[in-house]
Structure 1
Amino acid sequence: MGASPLAPGWLSYPSERNSLWVQQWAHDVERLDNGQLSVGGVGVEKIAADFGTPVFVVSETDFRLRARSFLDAFNDAFAPLCGGADVYYAGKSFLCTEVARWVVEEGLRLDTCSGGELAVAERAGLTGPQLGLHGNNKSDAEINRALDLGVGRIIVDSIHELQRIHTIAGGRRAVANVMLRLTPGVHAHTHEFIATAHEDQKFGLSLSPGGDDPRSPAETAVVMALRSPHIKLLGLHCHIGSQIFEPDGFELAATRLLDFLGYVRDTHGVELPELDLGGGYGIAYTEQDEPRPPAEIANAMAAVVGSTCRKLSMAVPRISIEPGRAIAGPTTFTLYEVGTLKTVQVDVSTELGEGGTAPRRYISVDGGMSDNARPVLYDADYSAVLANRASKAEPELSRVVGKHCESGDIVVRDVYLPADICTGDLLAVPGTGAYCWALASNYNYIGRPPVIAVTETCARLIIRGETEEDLLARDMGAPR
């Protein structure tokens, strides 16, 4: 059969038909002797029988290892400069009470960005310096809740929000720990919807003057924070985007924020003690992705921070980072059951102008855009493997699609899968630990899938799947 002319340039024709590309998977995912995929020694057929499909399958062991690897790498890299680093897990990527406990048990802190995420943290027993609160439009209730919990830092996104925190904290006769989120003007190499450090977007305080005020919004916010008796200004924060592989954006952002810390010292006589460089480190969704190991990221950032601080004759501030996807993403795969299949003929044009057609097979599964919205939101690419058995059949270019009433309901746009896949087979899509369950919806009145955690040959439910009773429980129309 051979490679398809419809395949994108980055997708290679598989030479080994049942192999796993290890960068995409949790370290304890493997194929058993019968060809079945397993995680932590638990086969996918047992998972499907016990929990149904679709289901998110998390390796707890792998999650903990990835969390600890970031903490160890950044502590080692920054220990000579500022005594180590603080790692905040970005809860928006995937959060439940069990995950919150894993994070703290591994020595990390938790970054939240809503009252609901604070509620999860509180239920898991987290308070005080273990927590941070993000968000560009925090409600009064969320600010009050953060103060009730004594969160270690509130990341301020605008001058208006800084004024509101001052007023709310003042009314409580309290002091709010605050960091200012700045937009350093760095254009990250990623999708425009997840690039967050350029000027024309909703997040952060600009370093550039605008309007009639000769000062930048960042400069104005510093003055306001330092003058307020109800604000304790800890330092600066930035986040340049998500799913980023190139180091230059992180390094440039660090340099610009350190320069601004120098400005604050020279202008106001205050050395702010903390600097958060955000997250956004990329993971391997497909073979075109080449993620950097945590130690490489940490050492590169430490080198830039150290040299810039020496140039500015500045003490190195306490550094913190916020990985989410890079911890949660590879720990998880989504398990689906195959339903209908069909093959269509697609027009092909070549560089020589010759026409013709080529087959594209559509494989429908029992989930879709309600459990993974990223392909339709960001044109995100994923991969998939036949999970319940090995196959000697020729690989065939396939498109894995969901069951929703949308032509854009695509789970995996392009992947080579065995030609003998049939109804009832199981497919596993790796790298779904971040921003999949978190973005899940009830489109077409389909319940969000369960999440199970596997460790030491034991699979257990950590989030129950939704039932039809759950979906109807909030419908207040009276039954006839």
Structure 2
Amino acid sequence: MLPHERPPLAPADLNRINPSIWPRTSSRAEGALTVGGVDVRDLARDHGTPLYVIDEDDVRSRMRDYATAFAGSEVHYAGKAFLCKEIVRWLQDEGLGLDVASSGELAVALSVGFPAGRITMHGNNKSKAELAKALEAGVGHIVVDSYDEIARLGYLAEQMGERPKVMVRVTTGVEAHTHEFIATAHDDQKFGLSLNSGAAAEAVRRILAMPQLQLVGLHSHIGSQIVDTAGFEVAARRLATLLVQIKDEHGVVLPELDLGGGYGIAYVDGDEAPDIKELADGLREIVAKVCVDAGLPVPRLTVEPGRTIVGPGGITLYEVGTIKDVEGLRTYVSIDGGMSDNVRTALYGAEYTAALASRASEAEPMLSRLVGKHCESGDIIVRDFHLPADLAPGDLIAVAATGAYCRSLANNYNYLPRPAVVAVSGGVSRVIVQGETEDDLLRGQL
């Protein structure tokens, strides 16, 4: 339902902070939004805009929620959601593992002394250099994604005298109910080895034929922004058939099963997000049941949350620059960032909640479109929502639930520097990723 099709909003609705969408420490103080006890007006003054803001207490509490709910299983944070040195330190403090998908992400983790044994290396096209770096570091697991990679990894392991633990990424044919670009378990896509075609079983044969590789389990990831366990149950049942085949054909019982992540969060009113404890109980029950039904011992379960840990605790802060009323349609509100700091709306059709953050307002609601400053008509952050009719240049707008994938996908389109990332906690803000300058953009050019 589009905003203009919904029941009319009252002015007070525009000032409401929905706790299921905004960071856990969010509130309004004297009308202005505060996060982590810090007024957004102070954040804009001290750090400039656009600005990524991360609620440290929110993120750490979600890490602890996962560690508690999945006690006895492995929780590996999916670093692609958002990774920097400080996030890695929080992971280490809270006892979680880490998934990386490139040598760059691995370098971030290793740079602050994160235990390599708690790292899993992903990627559909890992280079020799990346695999060698993973072997040298002693990462806990490498998830293999192709026949080429099996051969490449086997050769390197033999040359380096290593015997890494590996898992096979299996495409189970599960059609996750999500956007095409973030559904990852159907056969017609780049990730994994197909269960239906027999490619996954052949990958197992090739690995077991290489004494320099230690096959310990199967991996599946069905997609992103998923809010129920139905797809995971189907995937687990299909993986169990392969586990039985491996046992019957090779006499090998694999001790580990990784069901990936992809759990959803609330972006707008009405969105549902899974309860972490219910999710954990549901996944454990699913795995136990399918293994008992298949006559298999229950393997050690691993999950890979990313968005649900860091997404809700992040906001992006912008300053309003121009306001343009397109009569009879909507008002275009242009801010000082755009698709360079949040490309998800253009890429996935993502939806967001945004609000006037620097003050409260009693003005009537105004149908708005929040747009960036880039030379693209598709440079939209929030497609249709309401802002107060007294909005003015210089006001601050906050967009909620931007902690995941916004900074990771940030770019320099139109030569805009990427914004800083600031962590807030206990009334104090500190920069954890420096913002870029124009000098940074010119560095390296000849």
Q: TM-score range by the shorter chain?
A: over 0.9
Partner amino acid, structure 2, of 1:396: M
| 1:310 corresponds to | 292
Q: 1:38 and 1:190, CA in 2 relative to 1: closer, same or farther beyond 3 A?
A: same
Question: Residues 102 and 359 from structure 1, CA distance in 2 versus in 1: closer, same or farther, beyond 3 angstroms?
Answer: same
Cα deviation code 1:20-68 (max 9, x no counterpart): 1111111101111x11100111100110000000000001111000111
In the superposition, the TM-score normalised over structure 2's length comes to 0.98
Query: For the Cα contact (< 8 Å) 2:14–2:355, is it kept in 1?
Result: no
The one-letter amino acid paired with 1:35 is G
> 1-side partners of 2:351 and 2:2: how far apart?
15
Equivalent residue for 1:16? 13
Q: Residue in 2 aligned with 1:36?
A: 32
Aligned CA RMSD, in angstroms, stands at 1.3
Letter of the 2:374 partner, please give it: H
Query: Gaps spanning 5+ residues in structure 2: where?
Result: none
Q: CA deviation at 1:171?
A: 1.2
Structure 1 gaps of 5+ residues are 76-83, 210-215, 346-357
Which stretch of the first structure deviates more once superposed, 47-56 or 225-234?
Answer: 225-234
Amino acid of the structure 1 residue aligned with 2:153: I
After superposition, residues 128-143 of structure 1 pair within 5 angstroms as 128-143=116-131
Q: Does structure 1 conserve the Cα–Cα contact (< 8 Å) formed by 2:14 and 2:365?
A: yes
Alignment check: 8 A CA contact 2:343 2:406 kept: yes
Alignment partner, residue 364 of structure 1: 334
One-letter identity of the residue aligned with 2:391: I
Query: Hey, what's the Cα distance between the residues in 2 that align with 1:10 and 1:235?
Result: 48
Identity of aligned residues (%): 53
Is 1:66 matched up with 2:62? yes
Task: State the AA in 2 paired with 1:200.
Answer: D
Q: Per the alignment, in what secondary structure is the counterpart of residue 326 of structure 2? A: strand
Larger Rg: 1
Q: Which residue of 2 aligns with 1:27?
A: 24
User: 424, 429, 437: which is aligned to 2:399?
Assistant: 429
- Which residue in 1 is equivalent to 2:159? 171
For residues 19-418 of structure 1, the aligned pairs below 5 Å read 19-32=16-29, 34-75=30-71, 84-209=72-197, 216-345=198-327, 358-418=328-388
Could you tell me whether the CA contact under 8 Å between 1:225 and 1:231 is conserved in 2? yes
What amino acid sits opposite 1:339 in the alignment?
Answer: G
2:382 counterpart SS class: strand
Deviations along 1:404-453, whole A, 9 cap, x unmatched?
A: 11110001101111111100000000010011000000000000000000
Separation in 2, partners of 1:130, 1:12: 51
Give the Cα separation in 2 of the matches to 1:294 and 1:426.
33
Cα deviation for residue 6 of structure 1 reads: 6.3
State the Cα distance separating 1:246 from its structure 2 match: 3.0
8 Å CA contact retained: 1:94, 1:437: yes
* Aligned equivalents of 1:8, 1:311: Cα separation in 2: 51
Instruction: For 1:264 and 1:12, locate their aligned partners in 2 and report how far apart those are by CA, in whole Å.
Output: 59
Aligned residues: 445
Instruction: State the match for 1:460 in structure 2.
Output: 430
In structure 2, distance between residues paired with 1:362 and 1:51: 26
- Cα deviations across residues 152-200 of structure 1 (Å, max 9, x unaligned)? 0001011111111001111112112111000000000000000000000
Cα 1:455–1:462 change in 2 (3 A) is same
- Superposition TM-score, scaled by structure 1 size: 0.91
CA distance in 1, matches of 2:166, 2:179: 29
Check conservation: 1:189, 1:246, Cα contact below 8 A: no
Cα distance in 1 for partners of 2:28, 2:302 equals 38
